[in-house]
């Protein structure tokens, strides 16, 4: 069952098994605030076990585009359409957040990685990506990177 992510009262609900649960909850809330402010979209997530198609789509794109397999279990995921974009998010136990942005009519297509404050760069990403830092009131320091999707999904 989906639950709306509150960016005013940050909660670790659904993320309790993460060693960086507070920071991951802040990262999730930061994404919720962004979509609310930019698109007036309410950001809701479900347990990953309830939306395996979303987790598999993100995993497939990572695997086929870059040969990446995320070793951490997925905790929560969501997929939605906003402003001509199909968006998918997966939040992992390690503190990693991955989003896939895919233009419905073509155009923008990318995978974004965000690391929660306090987590190490996952081994599967360390060799191929450099992470830029961004400060967030909700999430502390977020480190992020991305790549452009070349295939059709």
Residue 140 confidence class, pLDDT cut points 50, 70, 90:
confident
Contact of 110 with 87, CB cutoff 8 Å: no
Look at residue 46 and tell me whether its pLDDT is greater than 90: yes
Cα R_g (the chain), whole angstroms: 14
Whether 131 contacts 145, CB under 8 Å: yes
The answer to whether position 33 is within a domain reads: yes
Structure tokens at 7: 């960016």
CA distance 56 to 4: 22
Which pLDDT band holds residue 6 (cuts at 50, 70, 90)? very high
25, part of any domain: yes
User: Could you identify the residue written with the tokens 């098994």?
Assistant: 17
Q: In the prediction, which pLDDT does 144 show? A: 97
Q: Using 50, 70 and 90 to split pLDDT, how confident is the model at 133?
A: very high
Q: Is 128 strand, coil or helix?
A: coil
Q: Do 79 and 72 form a contact (C-beta atoms < 8 A)?
A: no
Tokens matching residue 103: 């233009």
First to last CA, the chain: 26
| Domain tally, the chain | 1
Q: What is the pLDDT of residues 75-121, one digit of tens each?
A: 999 999 999 999 999 999 999 999 999 998 878 899 999 999 999 99
pLDDT for res 106? 79
Q: Out of 26-35, 101-110, 122-131, which region has the weakest mean confidence (pLDDT)? A: 101-110
User: Which residue segment(s) compose the domain that 88 sits in?
Assistant: 3-148
Q: Is 127 part of any domain?
A: yes
**Cβ–Cβ < 8 Å for 139, 30:** yes
In a domain, 153, yes or no: no
Predicted TM-score (pTM) of this structure: 0.95
């Amino acid at each position: 069952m989906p639950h709306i992510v509150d960016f005013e009262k940050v909660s670790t609900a659904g993320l309790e098994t993460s060693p960086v649960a507070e920071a991951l909850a802040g990262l999730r809330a930061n994404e919720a605030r962004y979509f609310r402010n930019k698109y007036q979209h309410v950001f809701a997530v479900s347990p990953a076990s309830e939306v395996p198609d979303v987790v598999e789509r993100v995993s497939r794109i990572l695997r086929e585009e870059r040969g990446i397999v995320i070793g951490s279990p997925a905790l929560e995921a969501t997929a939605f359409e906003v402003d001509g974009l199909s968006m998918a998010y997966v939040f992992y136990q390690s503190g990693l957040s991955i989003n896939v942005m895919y233009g419905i009519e073509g155009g923008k297509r990318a995978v974004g990685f965000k690391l929660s404050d306090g987590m190490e760069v996952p081994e599967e990403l360390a060799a191929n990506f450099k992470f830029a830092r961004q400060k967030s009131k909700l999430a502390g320091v977020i480190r992020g990177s991305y790549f452009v999707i070349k295939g059709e999904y």
